[in-house]
């Protein structure tokens, strides 16, 4: 990510001094990408270079996207700018409340707007002081009339039925939302990753997945690669693809979130980085074979995804590390997505590694299982059965962390009946 070089003229500009102060604040300390994005946008705005502030140029200059990447298929810049707006609101509503300048990013734009709120307030006060007394009285007249109208309609207002208050997100999804509009990031699977694993025919660690050589496909290139294969690898490198099942899960989560849905940010597994995990709560959609970030939580889970002898061949299964009486050691699912039969998924709620926020993981052996996990949470009766299986009665003082293995009956790629197979409590 480029570091904005600050020239002498910029250093003396009070607007840039504010940018330096904002990016050094507590709200921005754990968001390296957001911090660099604000500096870049502000620097180009203050230097009068709005032509540089296009979605494509921001993606390639700030986030290192290839020059030919497609902004229609890759929405990461829009997601990051939306996150930046939330961070700016958080700063100026909190520790930056007394600043004389305010920084804003208008919706649909990529330029920064600076407003001198101190001068505006002073000008308004001077204007009020200069008004003749008679004009002041005339200005008070509408307020007097408004007060009379208010008093005359108060009884009628309170006699009207009150509108229903939208319910808060139900547990366990509700455990991710905290006061203050802290974002909840939903990390969907990276279909590109799944296809690249089929080419590679080897398991991939999270460290390797994050390496530039793997992302670009350089360490997957065959010695005598055909032109067709080269075009495919170039497309997989630049596109952001996810599955229909993930879209169903995202839609389900949005509907369940009710009034808190504006706190949800959608992120591709490809656009996440380890530093992002230090801030906020997350929903991870998909198993490690499609969403490698889930592998970083596996050491705390009892039910872990396993694959056939060769990656992409043979049915997947969940390994039960510590079977209880009546449980199996392995739970094998469908051989491939789109078939009919029994499939499995897990739902897990556990704290983030640093203890700041929680993670909800919805992973299926195939897409049908992942979709079934989301639909399971959308059903109030299923949530009651889950609470009963975990021994939850009433409101608990401490958060309840758990994992649950669920069985799903798929018919031609569509999930139908689901049931709970086994549960485990997770102790932080």
| DSSP line for 398-425 | S--EEEEEEEEEEETTEEEEEEEEEEEE
- Residues 386 and 406 sit within 8 Å (Cβ to Cβ): no
Higher per-residue confidence, 325 vs 220? 325
Mean pLDDT of 102-122: 77
Number of Cβ within 10 Å of residue 93's Cβ equals 12
pLDDT at 331: 94
pLDDT at 428: 78
pLDDT at 278: 83
Mean pLDDT of 383-402: 87
pTM: 0.66
Least confident of 38-42, 125-129, 386-390: 125-129
pLDDT at 364: 92
Mean pLDDT of the chain: 81
pLDDT at 398: 80
Which pLDDT tens digit goes with each residue over 121-151?
444 454 445 445 555 555 555 656 566 555 5
pLDDT at 144: 60
Which pLDDT tens digit goes with each residue over 64-109?
888 877 777 777 888 888 888 888 888 888 888 888 889 998 887 8
Q: What is the DSSP string of 238-305?
A: H-----HHHHHHHHHHHHHHGGGGGGEEEEEGGG--GGGGGSSEEEEES-TTT-GGGGGGGGG-SEEE
Please give the Cα distance from 305 to 363 (Å, whole number): 9
| Residue 163 pLDDT class (50, 70, 90 cuts) | very low
Mean pLDDT of 364-377: 91
Please give the Cα distance from 269 to 276 (Å, whole number): 11
Least confident of 69-73, 213-217, 278-282: 213-217
For 173-190+242-426, the fitting CATH number among 3.30.379, 2.60.40, 3.20.20, 3.40.50 is: 3.30.379
- Residues 289 and 49 sit within 8 Å (Cβ to Cβ): no
Please give the Cα distance from 229 to 394 (Å, whole number): 57
CATH, domain range 8-118: 1.10.10
Angle between helices 55-62 and 32-46 (to 10 degrees): 120
* CA atoms within 13 Å, Cβ hemisphere of 416: 9
Residue 181 zone, left/alpha/beta (φ > 0; ψ -120 to 50; rest)? left
Specify the domain boundaries for CATH 1.10.10 within the chain: 8-118
Mean pLDDT of 361-366: 93
Specify the domain boundaries for CATH 3.30.379 within the chain: 173-190+242-426
Q: Which residue has the tokens 């992302």?
A: 215
Of the candidates 344, 338, 350, 402, the residue with the CA atom closest to the CA atom of residue 376? 344
CA distances from residue 243 to 74, 192, 356, 368, 370 in whole angstroms, order as listed: 15, 10, 29, 11, 10
Higher per-residue confidence, 389 vs 76? 389
Least confident of 149-163, 228-242, 371-385, 393-407: 149-163
Please give the Cα distance from 123 to 128 (Å, whole number): 9
């Amino acid at each position: 990510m480029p570091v904005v070089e600050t020239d002498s003229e910029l250093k003396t500009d009070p607007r840039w001094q504010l940018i330096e102060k904002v990016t050094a604040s507590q709200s921005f300390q754990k968001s390296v990408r957001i911090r660099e994005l604000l500096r870049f946008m502000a620097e180009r705005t203050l230097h009068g270079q709005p032509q540089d502030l296009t979605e494509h140029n921001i993606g390639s200059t700030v986030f290192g996207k290839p020059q030919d990447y497609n902004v229609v298929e890759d929405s990461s810049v829009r997601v990051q700018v939306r996150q930046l707006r939330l961070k700016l609101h958080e700063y100026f509503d909190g520790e930056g409340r007394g600043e004389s300048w305010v920084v804003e990013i208008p919706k649909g734009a990529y330029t920064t707007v600076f407003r001198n709120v101190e001068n505006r307030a002073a000008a308004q006060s001077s204007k009020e002081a200069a008004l003749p007394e008679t004009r002041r009285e005339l200005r008070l007249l509408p307020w007097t009339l408004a007060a009379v109208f208010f008093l005359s309609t108060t009884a009628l207002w309170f006699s009207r039925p009150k509108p229903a208050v939208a319910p808060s997100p139900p547990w366990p999804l509700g455990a991710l939302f905290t006061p203050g509009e802290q974002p909840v990031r939903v990390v969907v699977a990276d279909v590109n990753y799944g296809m690249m694993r089929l080419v590679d025919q080897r398991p991939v660690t999270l460290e390797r997945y994050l390496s530039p050589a793997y992302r670009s496909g350089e360490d997957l290139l065959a010695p005598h690669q055909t032109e067709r294969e080269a075009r495919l690898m170039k497309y997989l490198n630049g596109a952001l693809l996810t599955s229909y099942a993930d879209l169903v899960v995202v839609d389900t989560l949005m509907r369940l979130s009710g009034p808190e849905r504006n706190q949800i940010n959608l992120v591709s597994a490809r656009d996440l980085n380890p530093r992002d995990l230090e801030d906020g709560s997350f929903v991870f959609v998909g198993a490690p074979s499609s969403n490698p970030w889930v592998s970083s939580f596996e050491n705390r889970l009892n039910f872990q995804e396993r694959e056939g002898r060769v990656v992409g061949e043979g049915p997947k299964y969940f390994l039960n590390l510590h079977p209880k009486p009546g449980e199996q050691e392995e739970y094998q699912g469908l051989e491939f997505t789109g078939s009919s039969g029994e499939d499995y998924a897990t739902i897990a709620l556990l704290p983030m590694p640093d203890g700041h926020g929680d993670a909800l993981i919805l992973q299926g052996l195939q897409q049908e299982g992942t979709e079934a996990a989301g639909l399971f949470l959308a059903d109030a009766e299923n949530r009651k059965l889950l609470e009963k299986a975990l021994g939850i009665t009433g409101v608990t003082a401490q958060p309840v962390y758990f994992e649950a293995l669920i069985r799903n009956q798929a018919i031609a790629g569509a999930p139908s009946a689901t049931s709970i197979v086994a549960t485990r409590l997770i102790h932080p």
